[in-house]
Structure 1
Amino acid sequence: MDKLKFDDFVSKIGLKGGISEIHKGLNQARNLLYNKNRFVSSIPVKKYIILISDGLPSTPSAITTMSTQGMTILAVGVGEDVSHHYLSLIVGGSEKVFPYNNDRLWHYMMDALIDASCNFCQKSEEADVIFAVDTSNGWNHSELGTLVPTIISKIVAGIELGPTKTQIALITYATSSNIRFDFNKYNNETERLNLRRQLSSFDPTTSSNTNITDLIENVDHLLVDSKKGARLSAKKFLILFSNYQNNISVEDRNILDILRKSVEIFAVGLDQSDEKFTIMSEIASTSFHIGIDGGMSVNSIDTFIASLLEQFKTVHCDLP
């Protein structure tokens, strides 16, 4: 009946082991919610199921037997063995699958539950986003000149740019970092249309190694510089494109740990090999990893873009 009792109950749940019949749990949750068919001012209350999972469903084929009409299912993936693929099938889209160790689910729920008449909580899309593209060895002309700009264009097409909305910056880096455009440049539709052309102008630099330390330092400086860089009030993102040829050094890992305290980091790769995925995980351990196989259509990344765009939104509550 209150938060303290709920926390106490959850903390005493014992691990039983055994198989994960997720569909049975969801059907039971659905029955509980269905039987509590409450109305407020003649309007049925919203109903949510939040599934927390750390592995695979034991009976994947039974997912289709679930009946959750009139309810929204959200999922939280915990640990390295969890299947975001199956979770996205269960909840009806990757934008409803959340990591366990940040506040994205909180923002989603606040955005969904706040009544339009609430005077204390406001929805916001004020986000500052850095696209960082590794132009060192490992790329070919098609990847750097077509695939990467196509992915970035798809992301930008889903956001509303502007002084009070989302602002973007682009950094290219190999042996050193180079800021290609700033946060204040792409604020209208005409400039957005020119973005794809400029992104396609990268020249692959096959003889240079990646200097991720220089990149991170430039990202950090750009995000904390309130005059020439990001806004103090904005939510901050780094979306990193690389072929991940080199392992992360101890120095880089320490810098990333500090950066992650205030910046959401997403790793984008064109190769899903275990070795490169491990490197991506070290860079973006708290995010979904947006990766596509180099031989696949770039459209295979579309399901992840919806999830990424959802993270740009936030809720600010100034309660008295």
Structure 2
Amino acid sequence: MLVLVICGSFILSVTCHGGHQHSLYLPEISENKAKSFLHNRHIRSLDPHPDYCTYLRYESWCEWHIPYCQGQQEFTREHRCATLSTPCSPGQHCVLTTPCPAHFRHNCVDKNECDSNPCQNGGTCHNGNNQYTCTCLPGWTGTNCEIDIDECASTPCMYGNDCIQDRINSYICVCSERFEGVHCERDCRPGPADVMFLIDTSFSQKEAINQSVDFMTEFVKQIPIGPNDFQVSLVSFSLHPKTIFNFTTFQSNSSLLNALSLIESESGPTKTSDALQYASQKILNPANGARLLSNISHYVILVTNGLSTDRNQAIHTAQILRNTNPHFKIYAVGIGEDIAHEELVQLPTDASLSFSPDNNDLLLAMLKDAADYGCTDCNSTSLTDVIILFDTSEDSSPLKGSSLHSLKFVDKLVDSFDMAHTDIKVAMLTFSSDSQIKFNFSHISDQDMKAKIFTTTIDNRQRNTSIRVGLLKMEEFFTSPSSGGRPEARKICYLFTNGKWPTSENSELKHKIEELNAAGISVNVMVTVDDTDSYSDTDMSLTNAKEIAFDPYRVYIVEENNDYVIIQAAARETRYVKCPSDIFKSKH
């Protein structure tokens, strides 16, 4: 189809079926109508002015702008609405439904109560029959959304902690003391817990009873005792276990501390298996005050030297309890004149729960375990600097007799530190007529470290060199800025020797090791025992080691058949727990 427009006339050209074309002429419009169209179009494009709503010549503009003219014809509206024979009903008002001068019309219409924008603070207005409702934004309420909701009014913060309304539709709980969480819902004050001391009072522990009492005393002094906090029971054992007092006998620190001295030594064997079963079946029982609730932790602290008469059975019983009794966890602390580390690491619930009595590691590990899951007051850490101090003097070196076992043990001990995944750093020093730095705390590859360990040899230039020389060099190395050590790190020394130094040196060495311990450096004496050593030689070596050690727990026997368990025991204290000093600050 083809349409062709020619000057003033409309010609419609249509192609029909068969190819024929027909033309139709449309009629012309008059000149006046054309001018009127152009004039009205011009009027409609004018900017708003009140007069356009009044004069007939702007009628077309008014019809295009009715909402504007309704607002400009208030006098006309009042005049015409006054002539209504029947006033508008409640909820209605009289309006000019058509406000243009050619045909003013008025009528009663429903009011839009939302025209006055009654809803405040971003609320949405909904018009109704002679009424309105406001839908408020979160955080506001009231007829007109004029009331700021107090989010703290419902006391959302638990345990009496303060609530602050910091912004609209929001609040913050200010957690005090040991509370954590959005609503202070986690009470991070350790406990409540039931703690049972299981004390070895057998014949071999006769001289260690006072040390056991001292350990328990220091432990109890640092925890709150009461029905809503920690409860403590005491059981002694030798041939048979015996209850000294149960969990509810003493409900205050003062009364409990006085009762710890009631324990007495016995002359029988050490039947640890029976004691563990007794603790599980008899003492950990509501009849003895145990609180068998899901929110109560339960611990057995086994205080022994690890020289059980029934060692295999004791280890087996501990394993059964670990797997079948979810109500308590076994910890072990080595106290005695002779310490069998190989047993002490197998009796607890985990090998890492075997502890020395000369620090707070056991207590702090327990406090972390007794706090609610997710609490961050007590934290595990491995920030430790370790020095391997290796004796290469001719008489007291563990290499005497051409044995490489001590170096293999050092290699395995260093591997156990897992320095790639922990914060433990290791250095190695040797000493004889002089000292040598094998490697410092700066990281070197595992291959280089192993190579340096195995290049250690005996120095044949001087005999009977005092171990004190090595201890002094070790102390200096820990504090030297060039060594790469860290002032804030735990400091541990492993002194490798065969223990065959003159006994005349023991007093001086003991004094030096006590000084080092006071300065925060723990010295573990690693006594290498050779297969060729006689019983008397081994006995002399261990006697020397025990006489200089800060505590018998810190003497380890290094033999070819006990590498694994001794390394577990010796390496445990490189990983430990730190808690703030006010961990038991009172709740409000």
> What TM-score does the superposition give when structure 2 sets the normalisation length?
0.47
1:308 to 570, 579, 583: 570
Distance 1:183 1:162, change over 3 A: farther
Distance 1:116 1:313, change over 3 A: farther
Cα deviation digits, residues 90-120 of structure 1 (max 9, x gap): 4477644333233232243245444452232
Counterpart contact for 1:267–1:284, Cα < 8 Å = yes
**For residues 304 and 279 of structure 2, what CA distance do their matches in structure 1 show?**
15
2:409 aligned with 1:151: yes
1:187-198 matched pairs, under 5 angstroms: 191-198=445-452
**For residues 380 and 345 of structure 2, what CA distance do their matches in structure 1 show?**
25
**For residues 121 and 9 of structure 1, what CA distance do their matches in structure 2 show?**
30
Higher strand share: 2
Counterpart contact for 1:95–1:308, Cα < 8 Å = no
2:495 aligned with 1:244: no
Counterpart contact for 1:94–1:304, Cα < 8 Å = no
Please state how far the C-alpha of 1:173 moved relative to its aligned partner: 0.5
The answer for the alignment partner of 1:10 in structure 2 is 260
Q: What RMSD, in angstroms, separates the aligned Cα atoms of the two structures?
A: 3.0
Please state how far the C-alpha of 1:23 moved relative to its aligned partner: 3.4
Please state how far the C-alpha of 1:226 moved relative to its aligned partner: 4.9
Report which of the two structures shows the higher radius of gyration computed on alpha carbons: 2
Would you say how many aligned residue pairs link Structure 1 and Structure 2?
305
Cα deviation digits, residues 231-259 of structure 1 (max 9, x gap): 12111100011122213524333222201
The answer for the alignment partner of 2:366 in structure 1 is 109
**For residues 365 and 441 of structure 2, what CA distance do their matches in structure 1 show?**
25
**For residues 456 and 311 of structure 2, what CA distance do their matches in structure 1 show?**
43
* SS, match of residue 47 in structure 1: strand
**For residues 160 and 56 of structure 1, what CA distance do their matches in structure 2 show?**
30
The one-letter code matched in structure 2 to 1:108 is A
* SS, match of residue 222 in structure 1: helix
**For residues 481 and 368 of structure 2, what CA distance do their matches in structure 1 show?**
27
2:308 aligned with 1:51: no
The answer for the alignment partner of 1:33 in structure 2 is 284
Structure number with higher relative contact order (C-alpha < 8 Å, ≥ 6 residues apart):
1
* SS, match of residue 100 in structure 1: coil
The answer for the alignment partner of 1:292 in structure 2 is 558
1:151-170 matched pairs, under 5 angstroms: 151-161=409-419, 165-170=423-428
Distance 1:218 1:141, change over 3 A: same
Distance 1:114 1:141, change over 3 A: farther
Please state how far the C-alpha of 1:15 moved relative to its aligned partner: 1.4
Please state how far the C-alpha of 1:33 moved relative to its aligned partner: 2.4
**For residues 308 and 103 of structure 1, what CA distance do their matches in structure 2 show?**
16
Counterpart contact for 1:290–1:301, Cα < 8 Å = no
Distance 1:103 1:136, change over 3 A: same
Task: Determine what percentage of the aligned residue pairs are the same residue.
Answer: 20
* SS, match of residue 430 in structure 2: strand
Please state how far the C-alpha of 1:16 moved relative to its aligned partner: 5.7
Distance 1:7 1:177, change over 3 A: same
1:67-216 matched pairs, under 5 angstroms: 68=321, 69-70=324-325, 71-81=328-338, 83-88=340-345, 90-91=347-348, 95-138=352-395, 139-140=399-400, 142-143=402-403, 146-161=404-419, 165-186=423-444, 191-209=445-463, 210-216=465-471
* SS, match of residue 290 in structure 1: strand
Counterpart contact for 1:150–1:196, Cα < 8 Å = no
* SS, match of residue 284 in structure 2: helix
Gaps of 5+ in 1: none
The one-letter code matched in structure 1 to 2:478 is L
Cα deviation digits, residues 143-196 of structure 1 (max 9, x gap): 2xx32332122112122326981111111111122222111233xxxx123211
Please state how far the C-alpha of 1:141 moved relative to its aligned partner: 7.1
**For residues 154 and 200 of structure 1, what CA distance do their matches in structure 2 show?**
12
**For residues 24 and 169 of structure 1, what CA distance do their matches in structure 2 show?**
44
- Structure 1 stretches of 4+ with a deviation exceeding 6 A read none
Please state how far the C-alpha of 1:219 moved relative to its aligned partner: 1.1
Gaps of 5+ in 2: 1-225, 227-251, 531-537, 583-588
2:555 aligned with 1:318: no
Counterpart contact for 1:163–1:184, Cα < 8 Å = no
Distance 1:130 1:30, change over 3 A: same
2:474 aligned with 1:219: yes
Q: Which moved more, 1:90-99 or 1:164-173?
A: 90-99
Distance 1:115 1:168, change over 3 A: farther
**For residues 457 and 340 of structure 2, what CA distance do their matches in structure 1 show?**
36
The answer for the alignment partner of 2:200 in structure 1 is none
